Amino acid sequence: MEVLSEEIITKKIKGSIVTPRGFSAAGTNAGLRYSKNDVGMIASSVPASSAAVYTLNVFQAAPIKVTQDSLSTNGLLQGVVVNSACANACTGEKGLKDAYEMRNKAAEKLGVEEDLFAVASTGVIGEFLPLDKVINGIEALKLNSQIENAEDFQNAILTTDTGIKGCCYQAEIDGVTVYMGGAAKGSGMIHPNMATMLGFVTTDVKIEPEYLQSALKQVTNFTFNQITVDGDTSTNDMVIVMANGEAHNQSLTPDHPDWSVFLELLTLTCESLAKQIAKDGEGATKLVEVLVDGAKDNEDARMVAKQIVGSNLVKTAIFGSDANWGRIICAVGQSQATVNPDTVNIAIGSHVMLKNSEPQNFNEEEVRAYLDGDFIQIFVDLQNGIGSSKAWGCDLSYDYVKINASYRT
């Protein structure tokens, strides 16, 4: 991934998906869930250049197919409609027809062409969409650009999440202040490959769809694709970015002098959402960050970091505050990266466990006290090159089993 200049300043601000110019949102309870919001919408005042990445699970849900169809027209979207409680996945022709009807009703509400809307769903797999309720919910939505409306949307997309996930950043492009907001959901069945559970990014930057798609794909590989909760990839994983150009900057391309600013803006937004998802893993008590340096290349570093953070043995050791670095070295060794077994360094926080693949003395009580915290860092230096990467995950607790043992009830 491109190394960004230290001179680039992107500022995190208090805002949301409706902070970028021209965006509005809404959420409501349509009866898919007992009392919580379950239907939501994001809309732009004008058609927006858009890009998306999707799950690589063979059983892609009907909403993904509809969104792919919409974006295939010209890469523009003016809105996205979402429901929770029902994934509309593995539902055959009826499920696909329902997803198109959901899209068409959303477009009708906004008064735009049908192919200017994307569709996303999340919830139980294999159940048909209660379409009448969804349509009533769409009709009841009241779009606005207040932060409360963004929160209504964020609540409408949740399933087993313990809270809403969002962020907002600003930067300077062509001397103009531009904004980027993000919202996401995800707590279980998180092991993304080209996406996360559901992620939505809005920005008022002007950029053509082809360059936006390229940027999203690049950034996704080092953000959303580097989180894991339980090793399972959902049928509905999707990230959508909408850029409506309302900041009126010169259209961005990789040759634009501020292209790296835009990449940083997108990277920080996606990384923030990814880390919030990892932290909110079902039953999780700790956020785990793995930092790998000294790999043959960035791809090798990425594989090692993801292997460590996804290891159930590492995750359970973190839950039990057990400084069992042997589980970490085992994960490194099975990552398929090029590793010299005689040169590996491992540290948990500031506590060195292994140096040049030789065990080091450490204070068990001090390390246990560190592992009792809610943010754990694991450092690995392969001393085999200049590649580096990060990955994020969580511990694996008793509650994860309880939550998933009774998911449908």
Q: Are strands 117-121 and 76-83 parallel, antiparallel or unpaired?
A: parallel
Residues sharing a CB contact under 8 Å with residue 129, sequence separation 6 or more, in sequence order: 83, 86, 88, 91, 95, 98, 99, 102, 121
Q: How many residues does the chain have?
A: 409
Model pLDDT, residue 235: 84
CA-atom Rg of the chain in angstroms:
21
The catalytic residue positions are 196
Model pLDDT, residue 230: 47
How many C-beta atoms lie closer than 10 Å to residue 114's C-beta?
Answer: 16
Model pLDDT, residue 206: 98
Spacing of C-alpha 99 from chain mean position: 22
Per the CB < 8 A criterion, the answer to whether 308 and 379 are in contact is no
Q: Which residues in the chain show pLDDT less than 70? A: 1-8, 187-197, 228-233, 281-283, 398-409
pTM over cut 0.85: no
CATH class given for the domain over 287-405 = alpha beta
Q: Which residue has the tokens 């898919």?
A: 32
Domain borders along the chain are: 11-279, 287-405
Spacing of C-alpha 4 from chain mean position: 21
CATH homologous superfamily for 11-279? Answer: L-amino peptidase D-ALA esterase/amidase (3.60.70.12)
**Amino acid sitting at position 42:** I
Residues β-bridged to residue 173: 176
